[in-house]
Structure 1
Amino acid sequence: MKIVLFILLFLSFLDTSNSPSKIFVIKIDGTINPVAASYIHDSIEKAIEENAECLIIELNTPGGLLKSTRLIVSDLLSSEIPIVVYVYPSGAQAASAGVFITLASHIAAMAHGTNIGAAHPVMMSEGGAQNKKDSTDVMMEKATNDAAAFIRSIAEKRNRNVSWAEKAVRQSLSLSETEALKENVIDLIAKNLDSLIIQLDGKKVETAKGIKTINTKNANLHFIEMSIIQKILDIVSDPNVAYILLMIGIYGLIFELSNPGSILPGIVGVICLVLAFYSLHTLPINYAGLGLILFAILLFIAEIKVVSHGLLTAGGIISFVIGSLMLINTDISNDFLNISLTVIITVTILTALFFAFALGKGISAQKMKPTTGTEGMIGEVGKALSKISSDSGGQILLHGEIWFATCKGDEINEGEPVKVIARKDLNLIVEKFIENNNK
């Protein structure tokens, strides 16, 4: 019996040892943000748990945030399994933050028709003195020096072209895939994923656990998708989406406060504001720009209640546009982190229309004369059913109901029209109604 068990265990071991290896693949197609950093971190952990041969990151990015880039690079440099960054498909790029991530991989590969480079930090400037370094220039120099030191350390760690890496930061140099291979920036060129896997077989790399030989022969590919939450957060991390959510949230709260009990606008407004604040938290927000947007909202509200002949609206529009343009600051990034001018103009027009019509109509409705209840009777015209004087009251017919009324002013004879001017408890105070002199 023991011999049978031993044979079964031995056969089980052989079956396990001959089982095909696993290769995990993820795709980063967009900006580098906290969601992308979380996605890569979770994928590396899953690949380690599943004892994968390697993790392939298909990369196509115009750049992203330096903080998120540092987190990704840290995960790549300390990974226990080989990380392969593959700039793919044709036409893709590894620009700005993508350069740091590609250089930090154990094996860097590019597809035909791709490029890498242009990693110079970009900062939005608000102007400076001529022939003199202002605070913006100093911060720009600090950011450049910091990024250059960062990329040098990465290139040295992975035995890649340190000189070119620094020039990519300081001079915004960019290379095609063939030039990158020649300059020792990447390790290989592959036309597609199948070609890449074939070339990876037998490659030796140094991981956090030591030398690892990649075995991709007959390997099974496992594609890891972003979770639903990550996909949602990735969408709202777009500056344009964050900007629109912020506006919807503000509209919702204003509408709820001006029409208490509406409920739905308030719920939608709070949800949109929470998502907007998450997105703005992940983006380099300029609080001066946010302040101008809020000031513009106040000007629009003031226009509804104060007669300014359009001056407050004009000021609100100017403040809104300037604030929107200033809302996002960028460090290691490009125009992809700025809010689209088309979106800004569209939202500005819709905001002006919202306050000019929608909110204006709501406030006008609140100021309308009541048509029901006690207040609704004031100003109504009825008919005297008896003689009415200021000393002794009488009865009037109003809305098909008989009311006791007293007179203010001239005595009112039976059958004459009367106008309600006030109410005291269950008694109405009326005056003679003259149709040609309707007050």
Structure 2
Amino acid sequence: MKLTRIALYSALLAVAFVLIWVSPSQAEDGEGQTVFFVPVEETVERGLEAFMKRAVETAEEENVDHIVFEMNTPGGRVDAAGEIAKIVRETEIPTTAFIVREAMSAGAYISLNANEIVMQPGTEMGSAQVIDGTGQAADDKAQSAWLGNMRSAAEINDRDPRYALAMADPSIELEDLNVGEGELLTLTASEALSVGYAEAVVDDREELMEYLGLEEASQEEFELSLAENIARLVTHPVVIPILLSIGGLGLILELYSPGFGIPGIMGASALFLFFFGHTVAGFAGLESLILFVVGAGLLVLEVFSPSFGIFGILGLGAILASLVLSSFSTVNILISFVIAMLVTIAGMALLIKYADRAGPMKRVILTDATTSELGYVSTETRSELQGSTGKALTVLRPSGSALINEERLDVVSEGGYIEQGRKIKVISVSGSRIVVREITEDETLKKKEEDE
């Protein structure tokens, strides 16, 4: 029994020794390890933030050994870049920013938060000044905060912060890179390597894996899902007002068309995309959608059951609140809402002026008209009396009675006094108003000559 135990312990020690001896040799080339390749492409916005968060969380759940962020972005929103950088910085998994084309502006900031930066030949990083909505440099407060972020990102991995600051501040001069005042620093691959802003320059993934010592590791592509692609599109600051405008116009057009047709589908689809994208991105919840539906219902109720504006105001307030709750930026959504409202009001004004009413609006707006063409007349117009002559039966001062074509009629003089018995002539007829003028002797003789 004792010999059996000794033999068992000896076998276990031998296995442990083998495992200890084999593991380092396997780790050297990455055998048995996994590397995640995560694309960071196009504009940096809040939809990308949601994707990056899911990618890192998935990597942590699957115990991935290394994450490579393939950078190819011109930059984007500062707030989104800050959140993405935090995600990259706080994960315990080793990270590498692999610049495959460019990492400009917000992309440069995200790259600086990775543990290592590796670049391909011909790639660039830098030019990270904060720009406001008008395309101008941001105010001093925003610029100062951004410079602090760039400095911190450089210092995290012991990089000289002067170069990070020069990427965002054109007043900084760098003699070693020939960067003068008024220029923003943009590093090429070779320059980044020389100043310590890149650990290596490699031609492709294969060389990258060799540099990382993971040439035998399995590679997994972490790609955007269809929902995340939609979310990235519809959460873009330029797309949001377009979607809201289409939604408002579509629903207004639907009120002027019978049934539920193309305008209604377009409007509903635009609003669905807005809430769907913001839900996938993690900004909107079910409460936002419910609040929007309630607001839309109140606006419809205001149309069909006027409440002197109470339902309308409550409806607009509910819709605005739902948009604010589902948005990543209150300022951006308020601007988008104002734009959409102006577009919708302009569209409604054009419809009211030029379009025939149909559909639900036909039921609440009177379109019939009592025109003379349809046989509706308030008084009979005696247009046949135009040019007729007669005699004043009473004094006209200026109104009175006259005998015209053997018919007693109420008339009014052109403005002067006409004595009883004077000859008169009808000069205009408008409805029941018959305007006459006294005929002078010269006119009588002239008419007599014409008759002869």
Q: TM-score range by the shorter chain?
A: 0.5 to 0.7
Range that drifts further, 279-288 or 96-105:
279-288
Would the alpha carbon gap of residues 121 and 240 (structure 1) be closer, same or farther in structure 2, given more than 3 Å must change?
A: closer
Size of the aligned set, in residue pairs, is 294
Q: Which residue of 2 aligns with 1:226?
A: 224
Residue-by-residue CA offset, 1:208-231 (whole Å, 9 max, x unaligned): xxxxxxxx1411111111223212
Range that drifts further, 238-247 or 10-19:
10-19
Q: Which residue of 2 aligns with 1:107?
A: 116
1:69 deviates by 1.2
- Which consecutive aligned stretches of 4+ in structure 1 deviate over 4 angstroms post-superposition? 1-4, 6-19, 277-280, 359-363, 365-370
Would the alpha carbon gap of residues 8 and 41 (structure 1) be closer, same or farther in structure 2, given more than 3 Å must change?
A: farther
Instruction: Specify which of 334, 338, 349 is matched with residue 291 of structure 1.
Output: 338
Instruction: Specify which of 112, 122, 145 is matched with residue 131 of structure 2.
Output: 122
Q: How does 1:109-188 map to 2 (within 5 A)?
A: 109-125=118-134, 140-171=139-170, 172-188=184-200
1:256 deviates by 2.5
TM-score scaled to structure 1, two decimals? Answer: 0.58
1:140 deviates by 0.9
Do 2:206 and 2:215's aligned partners in 1 also have CA atoms closer than 8 Å? no
Amino acid at match of 2:70: E
What runs of 5+ residues in structure 1 fail to find an aligned partner?
Answer: 127-135, 202-215, 307-355, 371-378, 381-439
Q: How does 1:269-288 map to 2 (within 5 A)?
A: 269-276=267-274, 281-282=327-328, 285=332, 287-288=334-335
2-side partners of 1:11 and 1:231: how far apart? Answer: 49
Residue-by-residue CA offset, 1:181-229 (whole Å, 9 max, x unaligned): 111112111111111111111xxxxxxxxxxxxxx14111111112232
Q: Which residue of 2 aligns with 1:421?
A: none
Do 1:59 and 1:94's aligned partners in 2 also have CA atoms closer than 8 Å? yes
Do 1:69 and 1:97's aligned partners in 2 also have CA atoms closer than 8 Å? yes
Do 1:103 and 1:186's aligned partners in 2 also have CA atoms closer than 8 Å? no
Range that drifts further, 56-65 or 261-270:
261-270
1:83 deviates by 0.6
Do 1:103 and 1:155's aligned partners in 2 also have CA atoms closer than 8 Å? yes
2-side partners of 1:94 and 1:14: how far apart? Answer: 42
Do 2:244 and 2:340's aligned partners in 1 also have CA atoms closer than 8 Å? no
2-side partners of 1:219 and 1:51: how far apart? Answer: 13
1:305 deviates by 3.4
Q: Which residue of 2 aligns with 1:82?
A: 94
1:51 deviates by 2.5
Do 1:243 and 1:276's aligned partners in 2 also have CA atoms closer than 8 Å? no
What runs of 5+ residues in structure 2 fail to find an aligned partner?
Answer: 171-183, 279-322, 369-373, 376-452
Q: Which residue of 1 aligns with 2:244?
A: 246
2-side partners of 1:23 and 1:76: how far apart? Answer: 15
1-side partners of 2:335 and 2:237: how far apart? Answer: 16
Do 2:113 and 2:153's aligned partners in 1 also have CA atoms closer than 8 Å? yes
2-side partners of 1:83 and 1:110: how far apart? Answer: 14
1:34 deviates by 1.8
Q: Which residue of 1 aligns with 2:312?
A: none
Do 2:36 and 2:64's aligned partners in 1 also have CA atoms closer than 8 Å? yes
Structure of higher CA gyration radius:
2
Would the alpha carbon gap of residues 9 and 63 (structure 1) be closer, same or farther in structure 2, given more than 3 Å must change?
A: farther
Q: Which residue of 2 aligns with 1:316?
A: none
2-side partners of 1:57 and 1:32: how far apart? Answer: 13
1-side partners of 2:60 and 2:341: how far apart? Answer: 48
Root-mean-square deviation (CA), in Å? Answer: 3.7
Which one has more relative contact order, counting CA pairs under 8 Å at least 6 apart? Answer: 1
Instruction: Specify which of 48, 59, 62 is matched with residue 71 of structure 2.
Output: 59
Does residue 96 of structure 1 match 2:94? no
1:74 deviates by 1.2
1:292 deviates by 4.6
Taking only the aligned residue pairs, the percentage that are identical comes to 26
Do 1:24 and 1:223's aligned partners in 2 also have CA atoms closer than 8 Å? yes
Residue-by-residue CA offset, 1:31-68 (whole Å, 9 max, x unaligned): 11222122222222222233322100101011112222
1:253 deviates by 0.8
1-side partners of 2:110 and 2:37: how far apart? Answer: 16
